[in-house]
């Protein structure tokens, strides 16, 4: 398992997520983002609006994801 924070995954807090792949950790961060969205947390709303801008540009999104994958791969196992 490896650990990344909400902040490292484009979010807005230091919540930690643990997973075996970058895809899984992205899912965890997404679920957490949805929860924060429902709570109308201002910092997460801002982070999410930036992410949704990014998602409108598939190439940018791909670059972002590739960078996160690299970051994830370079982390030490817990």
Residue with tokens 């970058």: 22
Q: Give the bridge partners for 3, in sequence order.
A: 18
Name the minimum Å distance from CB 64 to Zn ion: 17
For residues 3-32, one letter each, b for 16 or more C-beta atoms within 10 angstroms of the residue's C-beta and e for the rest, the string is ebebebbbbbeebebebeebeebbebbeeb
When CB distances to Zn ion are compared, the closest residue is 6
Q: Rule CB under 5 A: is residue 6 a binding residue for Zn ion?
A: yes
13, two tokens: 């807090």
User: By C-beta, is 22 or 36 nearer to Zn ion?
Assistant: 36
For Zn ion, which residue of 2, 11, 26, 48 counts as binding (CB under 5 A)? 11
Q: Rule CB under 5 A: is residue 15 a binding residue for Zn ion?
A: yes
Give residues in contact with Zn ion (CB under 5 A). 6, 11, 13, 15
């Amino acid at each position: 398992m490896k650990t990344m924070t909400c902040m490292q995954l484009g979010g807005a807090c230091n919540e930690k997520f643990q997973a075996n792949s970058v895809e899984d950790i992205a899912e965890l961060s997404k679920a957490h983002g949805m929860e924060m969205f429902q709570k109308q947390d201002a910092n997460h709303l801002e982070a999410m609006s930036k992410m949704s801008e990014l998602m409108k540009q598939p190439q940018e999104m791909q670059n972002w994801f590739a960078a996160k994958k690299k970051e994830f791969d370079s982390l030490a196992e817990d």
